[in-house]
Amino acid sequence: MRRNPRSLALVVTLLVITLSACLPVTVPGLRNVDGQTWSARFEVEVRPANVAAIRLPVDLTLTFSQRLHDVTAQARLQYDTGIIRLQTGSLVDLQGRLGFDDHLDLQSSSNALTFEGYFVGNKLVGTVSIGGLVPVTNVTFTKAR
Give residue-wise pLDDT tens across range 67-111. Answer: 888 999 998 888 766 666 555 555 788 999 998 889 999 999 888
What mean pLDDT is predicted for residues 58-64? 90
**Burial call 62-96: b when 16+ CB within 10 Å, e when fewer:** bbbebeeeebebebbbeeeeeeeeeeeeeebebeb
* 90 closest CA partner among 66, 65, 108: 108
Give me the residue spans of the domains in the chain.
37-143
pLDDT confidence bin for 25, thresholds 50/70/90: very low
Question: What percent of the chain is predicted at pLDDT more than 70?
Answer: 82
pLDDT confidence bin for 14, thresholds 50/70/90: confident
What mean pLDDT is predicted for residues 107-136? 88
